[in-house]
Amino acid sequence: MAKLTFKTDNCKGCGLCVEACPKNLLILAKDEINKKGHHPAVITDESACIGCAFCATMCPDCVIKVER
């Protein structure tokens, strides 16, 4: 099981990580707004994450950290 950490205040809500996740575990939080005024990315089920780090690779702002 992998552990994902998000720097939510730096997320601009571009959605690239959401599209990159092969398990469709990431979403843009509709009920949360960060300091920049964007809906940040969050994981829906961390226990189902395979730790591929596609999300972290796609993130242009290095918001996501994946630990295996």
d(CA 45, CA 41): 13
d(CA 52, CA 55): 8
Q: What is the mean pLDDT of the chain?
A: 97
What pTM, to 2 d.p., does this model score? 0.91
In this prediction, residue 58 carries a pLDDT of 98
Delineate the domains of the chain, giving CATH numbers in brackets.
3-67 (3.30.70.20)
Q: Is the pLDDT reported for residue 38 higher than 90?
A: yes
In this prediction, residue 52 carries a pLDDT of 97
The pLDDT tens digits of the residues spanning 9-37 come to 999 999 999 999 999 999 999 999 999 99
In this prediction, residue 1 carries a pLDDT of 80
